[in-house]
Structure 1
Amino acid sequence: MSVSANLHPRTLPEPAAMLRLIKPITWFPPMWAYLCGTVSSGVSPLEAPALVLLGIVLAGPIVCGMSQAANDWCDRHVDAINEPDRPIPSGRIPGRWGLWIALAMSALSLLVGALLGPWGFAATVVGVLAAWAYSAEPVRLKRSGWFGPGLVGLSYETLPWFTGAAVLAAGLPDWPIIWIALLYGIGAHGIMTLNDFKALEGDRQMGVNSLPVTLGPELAAKVACVVMLVPQALVVMLLAHWDRPYHAAAVLALGLGQVWAMSVMLRDPRAKAPWYNGTGVLMYISGMMVAAFALRGLGMM
């Protein structure tokens, strides 16, 4: 008689599970925002390709990956309800390996951030602190449906955009850049709210007061749409004011495309939120790059 089951608990994490822990699919938004920042700075990325590439890697695989590892570690009890097959609750990343990976990547983030100069390092410190403030007790801003998504939106869009512009310009970006980066970060609050739909049941059981939990899916989806659209409307008005009418028209057209996608999503928010993330969000980030090109050479306002 042979024993086919493995009776020995895993002591080392699976490599594939470690990759899933840092969620490569989430790296794109901060990488894109950093690239928008470099474009908006007015400095050609070809003048400092190493800084551009290093910043993109830092924003995505390293800092964002670290934040995902920290979030999964701090959310392991919620994930046991929502997604028991995730790396930590499934045991494919055993013991405290999830915590150790998050801490090691935090240190790596700071080391790489130091290579981007004082502005890049300062922004990295802010990003690392924000990641832990979002997920870890006693702060755990994730518990709030208002502060949690707001912090993530600013960290995913505003902070890397500001960093990319500051690193290439070797100084504080012009105020038009800061305003546009801030508006897109605020609008991303709505994107993060829609992302919370997939964890609705687990969040409700574990006391995470996301907007879908506190407001209900229908009202939360409407709030998310308003939060996404209002900052983009302000972007359109600012670009028009700064004599960038064609860029303003392009951002407006992309916003109207989002209104159509929102009308589809609002028919069944729980079912259509993932669909919107592949349509409306694509138009949102396209508008970011249009605005970045509009800011090139704009100068102080």
Structure 2
Amino acid sequence: MAQTHSHVPAASHPSPKAVLQLLKPITWFPPMWAYACGAVASGAGMGERWLPIALGIVLAGPLLCGTSQAVNDWFDRHVDAINEPDRVIPSGRMPGQWGLFVAIAMSILSMAIAALLGPLVFGAALVGLAMAWGYSAPPFRFKQNGWLGNGVVGLSYETLPWITAATAALGHAPSGMTIMVAILYGLGAHGILTLNDFKSIKGDHEMGVDTLPVLHGPRNAARIACLVMATTQLGVILLLAQAGLTTGAALVGLVLVLQVLCMLRFLRDPEGRAVWYSAVGVGLYVSGMMAAAIALRSMPLATATVG
């Protein structure tokens, strides 16, 4: 007897759930947290500025970070078909060119909200959007090289929102100390992003995406990631100690020690424990960020300089 198959026509447009999956809410936390750190580190009073600060956090997370995720998934759809075929675009839940349309719409919405927050935030958001598109889209496609691509994302996710928030809270550029700490945490995020590359080694190798695990092998890439994260935090500790912020330096030092203990376990099985370390080690990393921000807040604005 011939077997019949029911045919379900492909959807012509994505569901709201598919759009949310494309924007990946789980990725919004780092830039939102960095923006909050910048606002705290500024030392400015926030009682009357809660609305622009809240809008800035939304801009950093759901809007700009969500846009970057949509852009990345659109231009990575062929790689994802190999690495993660269940993702929203290769699986067909985001049909046709809707992934690109969502990325463009989110870019426009991000700039509209940024414009409401003033020219400084608008300019920073424009830089962030340029990095987001340049990271994934040709002809730049920074992600083709793990050293460059991860550096761009680290600075976009940590340094840029931190400095933007501090600038928006103060109405002018923050102290040299704040800028240096924000840069160090952005550079350290390069290691965090390398951890994320472990899950897609096979597809990245086939598609010629030179992540650090592809370029140097999983074990060496893990060593590089740990070294980058540890040395940048050590730099933060030295800066805080030099400025007399000993409590902040001690707290960041404590979370660094805990991370090093986790790193030793991660390095014994990089591919098997990359996801575990991303959950545990990164949580400690961002805790240190807030500890540093609180320490900077306690420094008088007039003396919050480097040197």
TM-score bin (small chain): over 0.9
Structure 2 counterpart of 1:182, which letter? I
Structure 2 matches for 1:174-213, cutoff 5 A? 174-213=175-214
Aligned to 1:26: 27
Structure 2 counterpart of 1:124, which letter? A
Aligned to 2:240: 239
SS of equivalent to 1:248: helix
Output the CA distance in 2 between the equivalents of 1:5 and 1:110. Answer: 45
Cα deviation digits, residues 106-139 of structure 1 (max 9, x gap): 0111100111111110110001000000000110
Aligned to 1:51: 52
SS of equivalent to 1:31: helix
Aligned to 2:280: 279
Aligned to 1:91: 92
Aligned to 2:151: 150
Report how far residue 6 of structure 1 moved.
Answer: 3.0
C-alpha distance 234-110 of structure 1, shift in aligned 2 (>3 A): same
Gaps of 5+ in 1: none
Output the CA distance in 2 between the equivalents of 1:5 and 1:107. Answer: 40
SS of equivalent to 1:173: coil
The TM-score with structure 1 as length reference comes to: 0.98
Output the CA distance in 2 between the equivalents of 1:79 and 1:5. Answer: 28
Gaps of 5+ in 2: none
Cα deviation digits, residues 243-271 of structure 1 (max 9, x gap): 10111011001000000000010110011
Output the CA distance in 2 between the equivalents of 1:7 and 1:264. Answer: 48
Structure 2 counterpart of 1:171, which letter? H
Report how far residue 88 of structure 1 moved.
Answer: 0.6
Aligned to 1:68: 69
SS of equivalent to 1:146: helix
The TM-score with structure 2 as length reference comes to: 0.96
Cα deviation digits, residues 261-292 of structure 1 (max 9, x gap): 00010110011010001111111000000100
SS of equivalent to 1:266: helix
Structure 2 counterpart of 1:272, which letter? R
Structure 2 matches for 1:195-274, cutoff 5 A? 195-274=196-275
Report how far residue 46 of structure 1 moved.
Answer: 2.0
Output the CA distance in 1 between the equivalents of 2:240 and 2:71. Answer: 38
Aligned to 1:288: 289
Output the CA distance in 2 between the equivalents of 1:121 and 1:56. Answer: 14
Output the CA distance in 2 between the equivalents of 1:5 and 1:33. Answer: 50
Report how far residue 2 of structure 1 moved.
Answer: 10
Would you identify which runs of 4 or more consecutive aligned residues in structure 1 move more than 3 Å?
Answer: 1-4
Asked if 1:17 corresponds to 2:18, the answer is yes
Aligned to 1:141: 142
Report how far residue 173 of structure 1 moved.
Answer: 1.1
Structure 1 vs Structure 2: percent identity of aligned residues? 54
C-alpha distance 236-95 of structure 1, shift in aligned 2 (>3 A): same
C-alpha distance 3-121 of structure 1, shift in aligned 2 (>3 A): farther
Report how far residue 174 of structure 1 moved.
Answer: 1.1
Asked if 1:169 corresponds to 2:195, the answer is no
Report how far residue 45 of structure 1 moved.
Answer: 2.5
SS of equivalent to 1:48: helix
Report how far residue 14 of structure 1 moved.
Answer: 2.2
Structure 2 counterpart of 1:295, which letter? L
Structure 1 counterpart of 2:49, which letter? A
Cα deviation digits, residues 170-215 of structure 1 (max 9, x gap): 1111111100000000000000001100111110000000000010
Across the aligned residues of Structure 1 and Structure 2, the Cα RMSD in angstroms comes to: 1.3
Structure 1 counterpart of 2:96, which letter? G
The total of aligned residue pairs comes to 301
SS of equivalent to 2:11: coil
Output the CA distance in 1 between the equivalents of 2:127 and 2:7. Answer: 44
Report how far residue 3 of structure 1 moved.
Answer: 6.3
Output the CA distance in 2 between the equivalents of 1:268 and 1:141. Answer: 28
